Structure 1
Amino acid sequence: MMFRYLLLIFLLAVLGTNAQDKKYTVYGMAFYNVENLFDTVNSDDTNDEEFTPDGSYHWNEMKYENKLKNISTVLNQLGGKYCPQGPAVVGLAEVENRKVLEDLVAYGNIADKNYQIVHEESPDYRGIDVALIYNPAIFTLESHKTYPFELPEDTKYKTRDQLLVTGHISGEKVHVIVNHWPSRRAKSIRREQAAAVTRAIVDSLLNDDASAKIFVMGDFNDDPTNNSIKKVLKGKRKKSEVQNDEMYNPYWDFYAQGIGTLGYKGSWSLFDQILMSKGLIDADKKELFYWKSEIFNKDFLINQEGQFKGYPKRTHSKGIYLNGYSDHLPVITYIAKEL
């Protein structure tokens, strides 16, 4: 019975006082860069030597087990205020392979959620991929497809594929595109080129259905005001600004307030975002519609002392093992539907 999985709440702040007799089901759509979720085995085809017992991080079974425990702890709490059974889907970045995903979803903290996995290997030299896990009691998988980021002028350049996952929530089709764009060590044009790949996927979906419900989530390695997000992906700060093929970016307001998902050199960046198509902000309340977005910023995820006080508690810092969670904070967007 769905009431066992989902929280029914009054959305009076959004829908007004006339909605007092109406109830809504809330669903969470989340993203988390889990920072180097590697197993301990050396793979011949990737540069993962650091994450082996003999590597620079001395990555052993104890550390791997701690990493699984920490990430599963986050996933167990993510969205729980409104979605007791957790998010419908969680996009993930920096996972090494399917095995680490299988170990993660089977971990005690979240094993009862029965998360299923969507994953394909990417050509990234470090061996890190994007993936998506989903709760089959809430999200019904229809299909998935990967899209490579290729440079004809530089065939040696390798990075993460983009993952498109299509499925159904409450009988409605939704599309989720999971991204991890080139790092800040690369020129900004590389992220703009990655954004163009995402933009082409979105355009294809909208050509098939102008009111398609599309989520673009990921670690973009750019902030909401950078050209890759603002211009190429056509991300808008306000819902009222969104036209036709443009996208709403609720994380722009967070960024304008100085709120971010990772700290670097004394300041916050907001690389982790979830954008959505016009079909989610224009929808009738009897369809799935956008409610609100959050950055999951709990005290246990933050360093409480030392040089990096106030920033996310990562797994390693300057070669020192911290037994942290990730250098990124998770983000989650809530959608709802009238019962």
Structure 2
Amino acid sequence: MHFFRSYFLLLILFSFQTQSQSKKYKIHTVAFYNFENLYDTEDDIFTNDDEWTPNGAQHWTKEKYQQKLKNLAKVISEIGTPENLNSPTLIGGAEIENRNVLEDLIKEPKLLPLDLGIIHFDSPDKRGIDVALLYQKKYFRPTSYSNIPLIIYKKEIPKREEQIEVLDDEIEVKRENKNRVFTRDQLLVSGFLEDEEIHIIVNHWPSRSGGEKATSQFREAAGKLNRKIIDSLQQINPQAKILTMGDFNDGPLNNSIKFGLGAKGVKTEVGEFGVFNPFEELQNKGLGTIAYRDSWNIFDQIIMTKSLIESDFSTYNFWKAGIFSKPYLIQNSGQYKGYPLRNSLSEAGFSDHFPVYIYLIKEVAK
């Protein structure tokens, strides 16, 4: 059975009817999932992870950690089914403590057959959480990758007496240490999906801790950095195929997405170097990936350049997007009934976010 499935999925073919004519396509699923506090049980003296230890506030034991890995592996292996029987080719992840937890994750029985590669960097986030990209080695070959820091500051003017006491360059050093908001880097990965070059940016933008309005400036800065990365790739190749994915901590209609990044929710409105956000339509339908006070929003999104929404499927292009919200991922009782089934003191859940995905398809000869 495993041999048949592997052989069948080597080409990842599916069919559908278009104008009464049968066509065949290759399909790849691209996914993003906020793993929600994927910590090991060890205390890292350099980060604020104390609560995620056996003696910490979360009572994070080895048994809970292992169950968390099993839970995440089940979800990752199933995202995008049944339209594509194969698991995702590319998986962006967030809230990851270190590379070790990813090494443990890809060894889980449900993921081991996928032979997943890992691209990860440690970021300066005070909680010690990072972003990463997992990929199926048989379909994707990375050629370069880098972590691009988001350097932002709290707005605070030094006191007059402090300015008198120190030189200008010392003021800047003091400002760096005191006012900088340490957050996740943006991960840029370039490589080949089969024989086609593609670029992926994995994000986890600054949170709303402290209030949505008070922290909006930080996510708007993240959007502008994202746009700068995309612009730099398009200067090299105007037709570059670029996906930016992540937990943006903002929805499709917030300023960071609409203006910082410049994303459009309607294909016909996307300009020559613009970007398209298919999750805006899903939000307009009332869907969500995260709930707060019974209000749903789509913080988790996969956004793409115009080069991926062309109608010509002779190369890989966007087909459709979705939110993976199977019943087993949903809390079925209590105060948070209907919400994503997250970690709790009594059990290692899945995540407080639902994962999202898109399909990339290409027509193949019959």
With the length of structure 2 as denominator, give the TM-score of the two structures. Answer: 0.88
2:204 is the counterpart of 1:203: no
CA contact (8 A) 1:6 1:27 kept: no
Partner of 1:50: helix, strand, or coil?
coil
2:353 is the counterpart of 1:328: yes
Give runs of aligned pairs for residues 129-168 of structure 1, distance below 5 A: 129-151=130-152, 155=176, 156-168=180-192
Question: Aligned partners of 2:216 and 2:264: how far apart in 1?
Answer: 20
Aligned counterpart, 1:29: 30
Q: Deviations over 1:84-130 (max 9, x none)?
A: 33111000000000000000001111111111100000000000000
Aligned counterpart, 2:89: 88
CA contact (8 A) 2:329 2:341 kept: yes
Give runs of aligned pairs for residues 195-274 of structure 1, distance below 5 A: 195-274=223-302
Which structure 2 segments of 5+ residues have no match? Answer: 1-5, 155-174
Offset, 1:324: 1.2
Aligned counterpart, 1:63: 64
Question: Aligned partners of 2:82 and 2:195: how far apart in 1?
Answer: 24
Give runs of aligned pairs for residues 17-56 of structure 1, distance below 5 A: 17=19, 19-20=21-22, 22-56=23-57
Higher radius of gyration, 1 or 2: 2
Question: Aligned partners of 2:147 and 2:280: how far apart in 1?
Answer: 27
Question: Aligned partners of 2:327 and 2:140: how far apart in 1?
Answer: 30
Q: Deviations over 1:65-90 (max 9, x none)?
A: 01001000101111232333311100
Q: Deviations over 1:250-289 (max 9, x none)?
A: 0001111111001111110110000000000126211111
Question: Aligned partners of 2:234 and 2:11: how far apart in 1?
Answer: 29
Aligned counterpart, 1:189: 217
Aligned counterpart, 1:290: 318
Partner of 1:75: helix, strand, or coil?
helix
Offset, 1:6: 4.3
Question: Aligned partners of 2:227 and 2:134: how far apart in 1?
Answer: 23
Q: Deviations over 1:12-50 (max 9, x none)?
A: 3xxx32541x21000111000010000000001100000
Q: Deviations over 1:311-336 (max 9, x none)?
A: 100012xxx33331000000000010
149-158 vs 118-127, which moves further = 149-158
CA contact (8 A) 1:6 1:83 kept: no
Which structure 1 segments of 5+ residues have no match? Answer: none
With the length of structure 1 as denominator, give the TM-score of the two structures. Answer: 0.95
CA contact (8 A) 1:5 1:84 kept: no
CA contact (8 A) 1:6 1:84 kept: no
Partner of 1:9: helix, strand, or coil?
strand
Q: RMSD across aligned C-alpha pairs, in angstroms?
A: 1.4
Aligned counterpart, 1:177: 201
CA contact (8 A) 2:40 2:52 kept: yes
* Amino acid in structure 2 at the alignment position of 1:131: A
Question: Aligned partners of 1:2 and 1:238: how far apart in 2?
Answer: 38
Offset, 1:138: 1.1
* Amino acid in structure 2 at the alignment position of 1:58: H
CA contact (8 A) 1:6 1:85 kept: no
